[in-house]
Amino acid sequence: MAAELPPIVETVDLRKSYGLGGPNPVDVLHGVDMTAHAGEFVAIIGQSGSGKSTLLNILGALDTPTSGKVAIDGVEIGGLDSDGLADLRGAKIGFVFQFHHLLDEFDCLENALMPITIRKGAPERDDIEYAKMLLDRVGLTSQLRKRPAQMSGGQQQRNAIVRALAHKPRLVLADEPTGNLDSRSGAEVFALMREIARETRVAFLMVTHDDRLARAADRILRIEDGRIHEGLGD
């Protein structure tokens, strides 16, 4: 079972405050303990301002905690400098956002390979074949040479999902990935993310306001007042 293996993500007593030393410090996260394992799809829910995006930014090595432990695939990020954090993001983490953030001047395949291009300078043949396989998996084989403006919103978001997975990360962080889509396209994109997480054994954490999608996840983490709870709540 996945839960018997070391977690891909682990936080222990994670805390985050802003404005420390100033007149009005703000405590956002209050001792968050959580894990996520390979192949697990976890939904993160909570009211606006509850700390969801802050948690995702810390797990993505885009922000640092005030205190506590954060480990990604066994690497504690607190001991890394800026170069080490960048290397960790490039090697082990993929990101999917509400807006696809594809680059208009590049085609579907080039956008999917962009993290690899940035990291290596140029993708290798195996990288290209793996990206093509993923693009076929999400129904974009016919779109390989089309630019974002030539694709539908759902196709653009599928392209963004492949971009997050093409470098074979251990963790994918998704912030409202279906929030900019109609209900049908959103459901299709969610189903694809769910299936790919299981198939590729990546740990997938998704922030969502959609309770229907959250219920379809393996587990729900609810953030209230900077603290983590299991399940949807009342």
Pairing of strands 67-72, 75-76: antiparallel
Low-confidence ranges of the chain (pLDDT < 50): 1-3
What was the pLDDT predicted at 104? 92
pLDDT tens digits, residue range 24-33? 778 889 889 9
In this structure, what are the phi and psi dihedrals at residue 203, rounded to the nearest 5 degrees? -80, 130
132 in helix, strand or coil?
Answer: helix
- The residue ranges of every structural domain in the chain are 38-63+81-230
* Contact (Cβ atoms closer than 8 angstroms) between residue 103 and residue 82: no
What was the pLDDT predicted at 140? 92
* Statement: the pTM of the whole predicted model exceeds 0.95: no
Degrees, nearest 5: CA angle 188-193-197:
150
Report the alpha-carbon distance of residue 40 to residue 201 in Å, rounded: 8
What was the pLDDT predicted at 233? 63
Spell 23-58 as b/e; 16+ CB within 10 A means b: eeeeebbbebebbbbbbbbbbbbbeeebbbbbbbeb
Query: Of 41, 45, 36, 42, nearest to 210 (Cα)?
Result: 45
What was the pLDDT predicted at 125? 94
Query: Of 41, 163, 167, nearest to 100 (Cα)?
Result: 163
What was the pLDDT predicted at 70? 93
What was the pLDDT predicted at 42? 92
What was the pLDDT predicted at 105? 94
Pick the CATH number of 38-63+81-230 from 3.30.1280.10, 3.20.20.150, 3.30.420.40, 3.40.50.300: 3.40.50.300
* Contact (Cβ atoms closer than 8 angstroms) between residue 49 and residue 27: no
Query: Of 201, 122, 214, nearest to 168 (Cα)?
Result: 201
What was the pLDDT predicted at 232? 67
Which residues, 6 or more positions from 86, have their beta carbon under 8 angstroms from its beta carbon? 61
